Every structure is written in C-alpha cells, then in structure tokens.
Structure 1
C-alpha cells in the first residue's frame, strides 16, 4: 500500500472511531435523561404499586440478561472485525445461544422468584420474553461495534428511549404494571429486529466481511470469553451490594438520596466504558493502527472524564435540588468526591481497553476483583462513620490505588505502540494459539 493509501486508511479508522464514540456518548446522555423522565411520568400516571412492580421486573431482567449473555458480547466486540466470511455464522450462532440462555434464565426465575414479582399469569408468561428482549437489545450494542457501526446502537437506544415513553403514556389508562413492562419490551423488540436486519445487510455487503477470517482457535475464544465473563461478574458486585449496605446501615431515606445521586455517577461510569468499546473493535479491524487509535482513545477518555467531573460539580447539585432540597443536602458531598475519582476510574478503564486489545485480561480481572472487595469493605466502615458520603471516600481511595497499579502498563503499551506500530499484528497469532479457526461452517 502507498504512503497516501496508508494515511487514508488511518484517517478513516480514526474518523470511524470518533463518529462511533461520540454517537454512543451523546446517546447515553440522552437516554439517561429520558430514562429519568420515563420513571417520572410513570410515577405521575400510574399507581405507586404498579410502578414498584414494573421497576422490579425490569431491573431484575437487566441483571439476568447480563448473566445470560455469557460474555458473547465481548467476543463480538473483539473478534467480529477479524471474522471475515464467518461474521454472519458467528452472529447467528451467538444470538441463538444468548436467546436460549435468556429464556431458560427467565423461566427458572418465574418458578423460583418471589410471588410479589409476578402478580398475574400474564406477567409470568411475559417475564422470560422480558429477559430475552433485554439480552438481545444489549447484545446488539457490542455486535454493532464489532461490525464497525456502533453508531447504529446509539440510534437504537435513542429510538427506544423515545418510543417506550410514548407507549407508556398511551397505555396509562390501564394503570397496570404489565403496561409499564410492555411499553419497555415491545418497543425494544422492534428496535432489536430492525437493527439485526441492518447488521445482516452489513456483513453481507461490507468488503472486510468478504475476506477469509483470521480468528484464533476456538479454545482461545472460549478462554477470552470465560475471563471476560468473570470480569463482568466481579464488576457487577459493588453496584448490587452498595444500595443494600446503605439501606441496612443508614435507612430508607439515605438509600433514596444515594440512589438518585449515584444514578448520575453511574451514567458517567457507563460513558467511560462506551468510549472503550468502539476503540477495541476498531483496533481489531486495523491492528497496524493501534498506536494512533490508542492515543486518540486516551484523548477522548481524558476529555470525557474532565467534562463529566465538571458536570458533577456544576450541574449535579442543581439537578439534585430539582428533586428536593434534602436530596441535594444528602448527595452533594458524594458528587464532589465523584468528581475526583471519576478521572482515576478513567485510567483503569483505559487499561481495560488495552487489555481487551491484547487479549490479556488477567491483570484487569485481578484489579477489578480486589477493588470490588475493598470498595465494599471500605464502604461498610465508612458508611457507619460518615453516612452516604462514605461510599465516595471508599471509591476515591480504591480508584486511586487501582489507577496506580495500571498506570505503568498503560505507559508501556503506548510507548510500544508508538515505536513499533506492527507489534499487535505480529502478536495476533501467538505460539499458544495453534491453528486459526476453520472457515467452514
């Protein structure tokens, strides 16, 4: 390839990275706002009992869907760009496996779950489909990233945020929890079908998916998937445990203050991870551009963390004040601490992106696991001493330690990628990888 051709390819890869990343970040912010509006409208138009049951059904389905994906979403993000003519086969098989796991998980929950969650036979029949919709909806986020069109997921999420709100209003006359769930699930299912059809056209027509695959052997894919699944599991434990700790130690009022405040902080955590996903897919598609793409991702991550932290300080207290003066008084300190630990968290997220690119997740898994234990343990002590703000102090200390651990590997990765842009291409087939996965389906 000529120098001009290489420059054009690099500019195209960086342009695609920026477009996909900015689309996901903006869509995440918009859907977060519309999500709050959704529940605010539900609280005004539906009985409190219906809102409580609907929220419990949907939230439990979200957790089940995360477990049911079996980290196939991580495989799509990292390996679809190298799948070539196998992309369609892998997508179809992956979606079928995830769909089966979601239906089984939903059915088991119906049989063993609390009676208060399933208030009618219709809700019991619907619940496995709720888990299925959540699963496939989320799976498409990383599948589109692997296909190089993460911006499609951004459009999907915006459509769903608007459509489910309109459906919620249209069904308000029923006043039932089932209507709340249906407004979410039916509109999401429509989005899933539309995007899946678009993905099918993508892998059938895009030139990069008409070439022979360069996938590692199946055992390497399974090893990566298993480690990614463990990483997801350990990362999910603190968000599940902390609300329960605050409720048990500080009571329901403090729990409410924490829930509203932490929703803003959690949205920023999500934004940081959204910056990484298109990067991993773009490097997998262009491993010879790892240096320039990595530097671009670090710049976008730094900008996202800085803007997010500034927003927490400037806009966050005002937003809490709109909810209520007591919410601002109870959560303002936590927002200020989050403005300090979000940039530290961004450093660890950067390393996680590099680890996914290298297919070496051992260190980040250890860091996340230890950090989760320390956050929970530190919060147990700090909540008793300082209340809700104690969670912020625990996060600040733990995120600082985690950032210190991964900072040297980050610098080493960036230096190596700048000095030797081809190193990732050479390391794509390792001695322990044996033969690549066959082309036949």
Structure 2
C-alpha cells in the first residue's frame, strides 16, 4: 500500500509516451481517481495475509505434530481433518459465498440472513457427517475407528464447527471486515498450535484432532460474539434497506453445484492418495499441499474481494477483474518462485522424508497456482454476473480433469503424478480463457 500513497502526480507523466502513462495508471489505481480499486486490493491483501498467516502457523502446527507423532498417525489425522473439512464444505452449502455476494446489500435484514445461514450450515454438516460415519468402513476402512462413540462425537463437532468457521469468514468478508478474517484465522492457528504442544507433552494419542477441534471452538466463540454484537449492528445502521434480491435461492442452489465440484477436487485428493499410496505418502502429500495451497488461497481471497465490490458497483466489474489479474498475477508468480527455490528447506523442517518425497510436489503445485488465478477470476466474474452455468461448467471441468488425471498418473508417478495432474488441469482450462479474455472481460473504452 505504500506504493499507492507515493504514486507520482499526473503532471509528472506528461512527458512519457501514452502507452507508459496508461500502464502506470493501471498499476497505481489509488492515485488516479479510483479509490475503490485501492479498497479492492487492500481487502484482498488482508484476506491473503490471513491465508499466509494461517499457512505459516499451520506449518508450525504440523512441525510439532511430526515431532511427536509417527508418519502413519500424521497421515491418518490429516485424512480425518480432510474428511471433516470436505463434509463441512458440503454442509455449509456454499453459504459463505452467498453471504459475500448478498450481505453487502442486505441492510437491516443482514442479521437474519446470517443466522439462517448459520442454522442451515450446522444442520446440513451434521447430517453429512452422520452419513459419512455410516459409510466409512466401506469408503475408507483405515478410518473405521471413527465409528466409536467418542471419536464420532468429536468428528461431528469438528465438522459442524468448521462449517460455521467458513460461513463466518464469508460474513466478515461481505461486511468489509477483512481485518477480522485475519484475526479469526490467526486466533485459530495460534490456539491450535498451543493445544498441539499441550497434547504432545501429555502424550495424548488423539492430540492432533483434539487440538484442531479445540481451536475451532475458541475461534468460533470469539468471532461470533464480535459478528453478532458489533459488526452486524453497525452494518444494519449504516446500510439503507435494499429490496430483497431476486433469485437468491436459485443463485445459491446453482452456485452450490459449482462449489461442490471445486470442493471435490480439493478435498478428495488426500483421500485418493491415502487409498492408492497409503498413510505415509499421504502425510508427505498433505504437508506439500498445505505449503503450496497458500498461493491458491491468494487467488480465492482476491476473488472474494472482487465479488464484494461488484455487489456494490456492478459497472466496475471488468475493470476490477483486470486489476486483480495483473496485481495478483505478479504476487503469485513471486510466491511460486520462492516456493520453487525454498521447497526442500521448508519440507526438511518436518524431516528428511518430507523433503525427499514432497519437493517436486510442492514445485508443481506452486506452478499450478498461476493458471488457477485465471480460472478463479473467470469463475468469480461469471458468479458476479449471475452466469452460473458458465461458472459451474468451469469448476466441473477442473474436478473431472484433476481427479481423472490424478487417478491415471498417480499409480505410475506417485505423488508427482497427482501434482502434475493439478498443473495440467489448471493449464488446460486457463489457456483458452486467456485467449478469449476480451470476450468475457471486455476492456472499458475511455470516455
């Protein structure tokens, strides 16, 4: 943000060629009469910082986990957490993105909208968790121990809690409170790590899962108190009453279908690795994914900020989307370069086996984050314009390509195969989108 404040005044650009002046205006939106673009990037940066903080502290959490628990235990615990987050994603019904899209204009109806989303997310996620526990011996035999009453209760609590956690992030983003998203995720990561230390010192066999669930409870309690006690009342006082949006239920249902495809691509992969390659390889993949996924989250967070601003100023959608592509492209490219260089050192913190097995995986996933940005922006533009058939189609294609290529390549190439599947799938979708960019994201003509 410092660069935005120090942008040269317009008068100093008069001697430059027109092309250079145009490029500088694009790169320095905050000083060229476009404060909304600066707000878009600021909120996106805070959301991205939240992801980086979560990933960094999450790495510390897994560092302690790998120190106190065997590779097999780590692989099984990560599979359980992946299952819980997958079911929570199913159960939250994509209401986080619905809140991002509609809460900015909800006015005095905001509190009711949020509470209804809370109730729906808890009910649906618990039902999904119960169904999973019934089917788990057939789906993933190595997780059959979850059917005992104590692990089952903890699993259902974690699933419902994570669904609420995701919905809360959507509500805070829709209210333009990205700083609290940062605080919420930071609190979750810190408490999770502290509990991991306590569980490790006490030699609790289920310490990884207990730490994760306990941190969810603390974070939910603090953030819900702020959201319901301060953020929503302030928003309702400041925002005038808008008419109820047309087609909200249709939008939510169609958007949920696309979300399910994306969720399956992200969360089924660790389960496939567990089934194909075993718990130890899943541990190596899991830590690699945790590290590289930060770059994917950067694109998602910028997209969330884009949708919030599009809800307030739809006419600026194409302009903001191009800003996100340029700005985030540079950031993600720099982040990918850092991960490619530092991957062996980062993974070696968890043990020599992680560095030996996961370095290539991290590097390929980091490269995949670049085409993923193009795909994410295309999906977010389609969602903002309510062209949900296009958004669903892109996410369905990603899911089919990742899972299909992964199951084809993994038996021959191991973890490298699943990472290569991500890179090939993202690139296959991003290239056509780049070639047709002027059609789905037309440049606004200067007046």
* Matching of residues 236-247 of structure 1 within 5 Å: 236-243=263-270, 246=273
The structure 2 residue matched to 1:149, chosen from 158, 177, 193, is 177
Equivalents in 2 of 1:352, 1:50: separation in Å?
37
The structure 1 residue matched to 2:221, chosen from 185, 190, 193, is 193
2:442 aligned with 1:419 = no
Equivalents in 1 of 2:102, 2:369: separation in Å?
29
1:119 offset after TM fit, Å?
Answer: 7.2
Determine if contact 2:103/2:175 at 8 Å carries over to the other structure: yes
Determine if contact 1:83/1:209 at 8 Å carries over to the other structure: no
The structure 1 residue matched to 2:198, chosen from 164, 170, 175, is 170
Equivalents in 2 of 1:175, 1:26: separation in Å?
33
Determine if contact 1:16/1:148 at 8 Å carries over to the other structure: no
* Matching of residues 120-159 of structure 1 within 5 Å: 121-159=149-187
2:384 aligned with 1:349 = no
Paired residue secondary structure (2:145)? coil
Paired residue secondary structure (1:395)? helix
Counterpart of 2:85 in structure 1 is 62
- Give the RMSD, CA atoms, in angstroms: 3.2
* Matching of residues 351-366 of structure 1 within 5 Å: 351-366=378-393
Q: How many aligned positions are there? A: 412
1:395 offset after TM fit, Å?
Answer: 3.2
Equivalents in 1 of 2:392, 2:442: separation in Å?
23
Determine if contact 1:137/1:189 at 8 Å carries over to the other structure: no
Counterpart of 1:105 in structure 2 is 128
Equivalents in 1 of 2:197, 2:73: separation in Å?
14
1:125 offset after TM fit, Å?
Answer: 3.3
Determine if contact 1:317/1:332 at 8 Å carries over to the other structure: yes
Equivalents in 1 of 2:163, 2:353: separation in Å?
36
Counterpart of 2:309 in structure 1 is 282
* Matching of residues 40-79 of structure 1 within 5 Å: 40-45=63-68, 54-79=77-102
Q: Any gaps of 5 or more consecutive residues in structure 2?
A: 1-29, 138-142
Paired residue secondary structure (2:176)? coil
- Listed one character per residue, the Cα deviations across residues 49-88 of structure 1 (whole Å, up to 9, x for unaligned) are 8766654543322111101011211210111112122111
Equivalents in 2 of 1:140, 1:10: separation in Å?
33
Q: Structure 2 vs 1, CA of residues 87 and 134 (structure 1 numbering), >3 Å: closer, same or farther? A: same
Higher alpha-carbon deviation: 255-264 or 125-134: 255-264
Determine if contact 2:78/2:283 at 8 Å carries over to the other structure: no
1:343 offset after TM fit, Å?
Answer: 1.5
Counterpart of 2:335 in structure 1 is 308
1:10 offset after TM fit, Å?
Answer: 7.0
1:209 offset after TM fit, Å?
Answer: 5.0
Equivalents in 1 of 2:159, 2:321: separation in Å?
35
Q: Any gaps of 5 or more consecutive residues in structure 1?
A: 1-6, 422-441
- Listed one character per residue, the Cα deviations across residues 312-370 of structure 1 (whole Å, up to 9, x for unaligned) are 22212322344445544444444444444322221111111211211112123212222
TM-score between the two structures when normalised by the length of structure 2 = 0.80
Equivalents in 1 of 2:124, 2:435: separation in Å?
39
Higher alpha-carbon deviation: 96-105 or 291-300: 291-300
Determine if contact 2:72/2:280 at 8 Å carries over to the other structure: no
- Listed one character per residue, the Cα deviations across residues 10-32 of structure 1 (whole Å, up to 9, x for unaligned) are 75533432232112212212211
The structure 2 residue matched to 1:258, chosen from 262, 285, 303, is 285
- Listed one character per residue, the Cα deviations across residues 94-147 of structure 1 (whole Å, up to 9, x for unaligned) are 112212223333344455545843375433333332222111111111111111
The structure 2 residue matched to 1:35, chosen from 49, 58, 64, is 58
Equivalents in 1 of 2:134, 2:147: separation in Å?
13
